[in-house]
Structure 1
Amino acid sequence: MRNYLRKNPQIRTIRAAACDLNGQPRGKRVPSRFADKVVEDGTRFPLSVLNLDIWGEDIDDSPLVFETGDRDGVLKPTDRGFVPMPWLEAPTALLPIWMFREDGRPYAGDPRHALRAVLDRFKSHGMTPVVAVELEFFLIDDSGRNLEVPVSPRSGKRRKAAETMSIRALDAFDTFFTDLYDACELMDIPADTAISEAGLGQFEINLMHQDDALRAADDAWMFKMLVKGLARRHGFAASFMAKPYEDYAGNGLHTHFSILDHEGNNIFDDGGPKGTDALRHAVAGCLNAMHDSALIFAPHQNSFDRIVPGAHAPSGICWAYENRTAAIRIPSGSHKARRIEHRVAGGDVNPYLMLAAILGAALNGIEDGIDPPAPITGNAYALDLPRIPTTWAEAIDAFECSEVIPRIFPAEMIRNLVLTKRQEVLYMAELDPVEQVEIYLDTV
């Protein structure tokens, strides 16, 4: 890591940052000449910092604050090392860090450690998940009271229409997307295909599959920072907010995954279109945990505006082959790439918690050897199905009281997230809709 700064003497400062429960980067700005100390010794800040609310405020009744003296955790660099931050004017590098207790134990309230613990469970079975994510976001002109599509830098026009898979829509913002792909290459984020989506100024970029789910979560977390930061340099906003426009589809963050055995074989591949028993067990695990883990997939008030029937986001708990109305889709294609697509999460999620919830639930199903109900056919919105929670309050209660969630997340993580969300509920109730949009637009 120290060699990175020596090879890049233009770097003037670093940001040592960890991911909090809301997916926000929290940390410190450090002059590059003092960066070696952070690399060698880590840095320190209160345990409570990873448990702040969406405004960056302490949780009022958190035991991490006054009850325990707001004690420090020790933040150490992850194995990702330094990553350039090309959306900033001055040459700067990000150093991703994660939190440990004073005695060296991983801090159970750190989202990255939550995912690591799930991956350790897979490793104990000789299995490795292979993960890819699809991130949807909006480009937005937020300079006025009402949100609008930005003016195209090429045409000088503002097209107020959804343009699903439109090359014209991509070309209208070609300068931005060219800079975005260049930045992804600099940051070693495996950005693949870009398409325009069904919302106003909405786009999706896929990140390539990889057999390191921690790195996949790192990539998604940093990609969201990059997109938002780079858009501001281009004179508009970018947002992963679940539902910025009432009349258009919201942002999703879909996850594709398969699982390799210790010999590198895809355990979902049976040589045909249906997949193995292991695939069905994983599906069953995901379905069983879906209701209680909704708070992970829809973590904010605005999130539940997206999960409504007929709005291109699943609302019923079901699975299907090659059917995008279902919460769990088994894509067609080569049997060698047989995989599960989990379609519930919004763009506003914490990627570490999301992948921990999905992969942990799948592993529950594999460990238990349970079978799912029959796959559906046709329009899932028209069927009488068990439902994903329709309100934020219901999702919080389900997460807190669940019997399955403690198999995936430690008790401290569950407590901290519930306290954080209950405070967000309380303070969001004091804001009007415009103020709510303003806070979510730039944060999530």
Structure 2
Amino acid sequence: MEAIENWLKENGITEVECLVADFTGIARGKIMPANKFMRERGIRLPESVALQSVTGDYVADDLYYKLIDPAEIDMRLHPDENAMFLVPWALEPTAQIIHDTYDKQGNPIELCPRNVLKKVMALYEAKGWSPVVAPELEFYLTKPCNDPDLPLEPPVGRSGRQESGRQSFSIDAANEYDPLFEDVYDYAEAMGLDVDTLIHEEGTAQMEINFLHGDPVNLADQVFLFKRVVREAALKHDVRATFMAKPVEDEPGSSMHVHQSLMDTKTGKNLFSNADGTRSELFMNYIAGLQKYIPFTMPLFAPNVNSYRRLLPDTSAPVNVEWGEDNRTVALRVPDSGPEALRIENRIAGADANPYLALAATLLCGYMGIMEGLQPSKPASGSAYKIRDRNMPVHLEHALEKMESSEEIKAMLGEKFIRAYVAVKRAEYENFKRVISSWEREYLLLTV
């Protein structure tokens, strides 16, 4: 705690936000005065926080008390001195510190997403390997809209006009929101986030931010907090930012592409390349692992009902687990790079995915491919959008059924985690099915 106390004092912090991410990626925790935080040396939260759905509801009682202690005990939160960040939009000097969660015996809480990612990282550490990732996060800017039945509209830019049409990679279109993005970059710099390139994506008022490559836990922390950054900057300018996978009808969905490679921890060598620059057997095993196990981990890449609206044919999103070289139509793209930068880009995850769980899933799939010595299919050539994969779930219910059917995934991530995650997502799906959509009212009300 000494390093944390020194950092708080050096930055004149008067308030601390103690954060953990739930299954959805919502920041849960407590806010307290800095002197109280230092005096208490950690806080507690109910274990039930891990079972909250996106609506704030919980799973049914018959499952609830099987997944957590019936006494609804507390989790012990330990602050991570490597995950301390300023809150640059706060009115007084405030810190946000990400915490890890443990039971009273000191064991990591199985249901907490950051612990799930650390569990997967430990598999690599035991082999002397260090995964490296670089996420690319897409999102939409929209006008404020308080009626969920109304479609979203692009915001008004500096010119006083709304964007129309698709302006992929347009500098002028991105500059329409320059004051907002100046705040985004200022906030990110103050927090030490490794954000790199800003790109105007294909959709109307759709943007993408790329992160520099690095350690998966640290990058998951950064993506988790970056969503807060963008939302806060947008609010300041009377704009809204959404990371829904498919927020706008007839527009492309928003993804979180993840570039990944594997380094030898001691030498720093890229293990995806042989000494002569050719692709290693380990590289091929890794791709094959992604191909085999992505269909069984889809709820971690596409966690919501809305996620699967993005993964439809002709939506600029992958619909299979094909791989290919310099091919953006496949799920697993191998960018055109030299041997030292050889990597795989997993294009499955939506922007709505919990970054801890999405990174855990992609790294786990690759690891399992290596351990099983799997071989991938032949690389796809040309457009892969027409190649339908029958193993790929097409909706959330199908995805949950596949994940809970995989004994291999249960063994790796823990049966308790799988049961809890599936239960929470099923509770959300049941809530969704109770809502009557505008499509049903428009086409069924007077015709059936």
Pick the TM interval, shorter chain.
over 0.9
Which residue among 248, 251, 270 is the counterpart of 1:248? 251
Residue 116 of structure 1 aligns with an amino acid whose one-letter code is: K
Residue 249 of structure 1 aligns with an amino acid whose one-letter code is: P
Aligned to 1:131: 133
Which residue among 319, 334, 339 is the counterpart of 2:338? 334
Once the two structures are superposed, the pairs formed by residues 24-423 of structure 1 within 5 Å of their partners are 24-38=26-40, 40=41, 42-61=42-61, 62-63=64-65, 68-143=70-145, 145-152=150-157, 154-210=158-214, 212-261=215-264, 262-270=266-274, 275-423=279-427
Cα deviation, residue 12, structure 1: 3.2
Cα deviation, residue 21, structure 1: 0.9
Cα deviation, residue 64, structure 1: 6.2
Residue 231 of structure 1 aligns with an amino acid whose one-letter code is: A
| Structure 1, 225-234 or 238-247: larger mean CA deviation | 225-234
User: Distance in 1 between the 2:342 and 2:332 partners?
Assistant: 13
User: Distance in 1 between the 2:68 and 2:112 partners?
Assistant: 19
Cα deviation, residue 271, structure 1: 6.2
Scaled by the length of structure 1, the TM-score of the pair is 0.93
Quick check: 1:317–1:387 contact (8 Å CA) kept in 2?
no
User: Distance in 2 between the 1:159 and 1:93 partners?
Assistant: 36
Cα deviation, residue 273, structure 1: 7.5
User: Distance in 1 between the 2:174 and 2:135 partners?
Assistant: 20
Cα deviation, residue 335, structure 1: 1.8
Q: Which ranges in structure 2 are unaligned for 5 or more consecutive residues?
A: 439-448
Aligned to 1:440: none
Secondary structure at 2:316 match in 1 = coil
Cα deviation, residue 253, structure 1: 0.1
Quick check: 1:317–1:327 contact (8 Å CA) kept in 2?
yes
Residue 315 of structure 2 aligns with an amino acid whose one-letter code is: A
Quick check: 1:241–1:347 contact (8 Å CA) kept in 2?
yes
User: Distance in 2 between the 1:417 and 1:59 partners?
Assistant: 10
Residues 207 and 74 (structure 1), Cα distance of their counterparts in 2 relative to 1, 3 Å cut: same
Aligned residues: 430
Secondary structure at 1:129 match in 2 = strand
Aligned to 2:442: none
Aligned to 2:441: none
Quick check: 2:47–2:68 contact (8 Å CA) kept in 1?
no
Quick check: 2:318–2:348 contact (8 Å CA) kept in 1?
yes
Aligned to 1:439: none
Residues 253 and 163 (structure 1), Cα distance of their counterparts in 2 relative to 1, 3 Å cut: same
Residues 282 and 65 (structure 1), Cα distance of their counterparts in 2 relative to 1, 3 Å cut: closer
User: Distance in 1 between the 2:88 and 2:94 partners?
Assistant: 8
Residue 182 of structure 1 aligns with an amino acid whose one-letter code is: D
Secondary structure at 1:115 match in 2 = helix
User: Distance in 2 between the 1:431 and 1:146 partners?
Assistant: 17
Residues 242 and 81 (structure 1), Cα distance of their counterparts in 2 relative to 1, 3 Å cut: closer
| Structure 1, 190-199 or 364-373: larger mean CA deviation | 364-373
Residues 404 and 246 (structure 1), Cα distance of their counterparts in 2 relative to 1, 3 Å cut: farther
Secondary structure at 2:385 match in 1 = helix
Quick check: 2:144–2:238 contact (8 Å CA) kept in 1?
no
User: Distance in 1 between the 2:197 and 2:108 partners?
Assistant: 36
Residue-by-residue CA offset, 1:344-393 (whole Å, 9 max, x unaligned): 00000000111111001101111111111111111112235444210111
Secondary structure at 1:78 match in 2 = strand
Identity %: 34
Secondary structure at 1:104 match in 2 = coil
Quick check: 1:317–1:386 contact (8 Å CA) kept in 2?
no
Cα deviation, residue 194, structure 1: 0.6
Residue-by-residue CA offset, 1:30-56 (whole Å, 9 max, x unaligned): 012212035x2x111111102200012
Residue-by-residue CA offset, 1:99-137 (whole Å, 9 max, x unaligned): 101100111111111111111110111100011000001
User: Distance in 2 between the 1:127 and 1:311 partners?
Assistant: 36
Secondary structure at 1:400 match in 2 = helix
User: Distance in 1 between the 2:412 and 2:20 partners?
Assistant: 21
User: Distance in 2 between the 1:74 and 1:257 partners?
Assistant: 32
User: Distance in 2 between the 1:183 and 1:312 partners?
Assistant: 31
Superposed CA RMSD: 1.8
Cα deviation, residue 66, structure 1: 8.2
